[in-house]
Amino acid sequence: MKCLIVDDIHPFLIEQLERAGIFVEYNPEIDKKSAAAVINNFEILVIRSKFKVDDLFMEKATNLLMIARAGAGLDNIELSEEFLSRIQLIHAAEGNADAVAEHTLGLILGLLSKIAAADRSVRSGNWDREKFRGLELKDKTVGLLGYGNMGRAVAIRLKGFGCNVISFDKYITEWPDENANRVSLETMCAESDIISIHIPLTHETKAWIGKDFLKMTKKCPLLINTSRGKIVKLEEVLGELENGSISGLGLDVFEDEPPLKKNENIPSKYERLFSRADVLLSPHIAGWSLESYEKISIVLADKILLHFSQQKGKFGSFQC
């Protein structure tokens, strides 16, 4: 059995696959065209975010049995039912849930305490304590939109701050723990002082969070997004921030990544976004800790080896 890895990955994954008798070709510099030219030689493809795996790519992947994504979500894998029926898809959301949760808390605390704006002010020679009087997180109601790996990790940390944590997730049939109370979408929006987004990007969620969604809010909440940028209609959300319907915006992800490209004019929405002190931004690094880099490989190795060990005998020299 052979595995092609087309993105940078912690060596733990390679070591574990090779120990199990799987041949690994590690080529993090390969582009999509070159990968498509050789993919028919491999049963396993490991990818992060380098390129989109689509039907045209899969037409070349005649022997592929599994696509493993080194991260959370599968939004860069867009396949028809024909290919989905024969391909095992896995990801490693468990590997970076802690990193995402801590970054989410950082964005919340940074906005409540106005840390970034205060830092810039002090560096400019000012000492305006009243201007940067902040708010406490304790006793705030935090609404988590989505209660999968990321949402649950955030809830655990919020409980330690003395928050009232509520969550809406339409796909969970049995609520998994006591760290967040399950509520309707309308209740979550109406009662939350802070709303944090932890849902995957799908056809259903794309461009979901905009003016209409925010009409359901009642308490002028902070809005935090560490999931996927295309879930949020930035132009509309920015308009709601400007008219006072929300009180702050923390974004780790954007509709366009990177939002600014060399030799291009700055889009108006980004000029407006970057000029605001009630906005806190980071470059899609919420799940990008040194620890998560290794943990993602550990999770993928476990899932890959478990899957093929359950199919033992079908794959020749595989020794899991």
Contact 74, 273 (CB under 8 A): no
Active site residue 43: no
In a domain, 237, yes or no: yes
| pLDDT of the chain, 320 residues: tens digit per residue | 999 999 999 999 999 999 999 999 999 999 999 999 999 999 999 999 888 999 999 999 999 999 999 999 898 899 999 999 999 999 999 999 999 999 999 999 999 999 999 999 999 999 999 999 999 999 999 999 999 999 999 999 999 999 999 999 999 989 999 999 999 999 999 999 999 999 999 999 999 999 999 999 999 999 999 999 999 999 999 999 999 999 999 999 999 898 887 657 778 899 999 999 999 999 999 999 999 999 999 999 999 999 998 876 554 444 43
Query: DSSP letters along 233-271, please?
Result: -HHHHHHHHHTTSSSEEEES--SSSSSS-TTSPPPHHHH
pLDDT at 320: 35
- Report pLDDT for 310: 83
Active site residue 198: no
Q: Are residues 100 and 87 in the same domain?
A: no
Residue 284 bears catalytic tag = yes
Pairing between strand 141-145 and 88-91?
unpaired
Can you spell out the DSSP letters for 115-136? HHHHHHHHHTT---TGGG----
Give buried/exposed letters for 3-22 (b at 16+ CB in 10 A, else e).
Answer: bbbbbebbebbbebbeebeb
pLDDT value of residue 312 = 65
Q: Which of 257, 264, 294, 307 is catalytic?
A: 257
pLDDT value for 2: 97
State how far the Cα of 220 lies from the Cα of 244, in Å rounded to an integer: 7
Q: Does any domain span residue 318? A: no
Domain match, 122 and 79 both: no
User: CATH number for the domain including 227?
Assistant: 3.40.50.720
Q: Are residues 87 and 206 in the same domain?
A: no
Say whether both 109 and 81 belong to one domain. Answer: no
**pTM, full prediction:** 0.92
**Do 155 and 261 fall into the same domain?**
yes
Residue 315 lies in a domain: no
In a domain, 320, yes or no: no
Number of domains forming the structure of the chain: 2
Q: Which domain holds residue 10?
A: 2-91+291-309
pLDDT of residue 315: 46
* Set 10, 69, 198, 228: catalytic member: 228
Q: Does some domain include residue 75?
A: yes
Task: Examine residue 314 and state whether it is found in any structural domain, yes or no.
Answer: no
Kindly state whether residues 157 and 63 are assigned to the same domain.
no
Q: Are residues 272 and 152 in the same domain?
A: yes
Helix, strand or coil, per DSSP, at residue 68: strand
Please give the span between the terminal C-alpha atoms of the chain, in angstroms, as a whole number. 12
Residue 194 lies in a domain: yes
Residues 139 and 7 in one domain: no
| Rounded distance between C-alpha atoms, residue 36 and residue 28, angstroms | 14
**77 and 179 share one domain:** no
Catalytic residue among 157, 272, 284, 307: 284
286 close to 105: Cβ distance less than 8 angstroms: no
29 shares its domain with 145: no
Q: Residue 161 falls within a domain, yes or no?
A: yes
For residues 75 and 160, state if they share a domain.
no
* Same-domain status, 78 and 52: yes
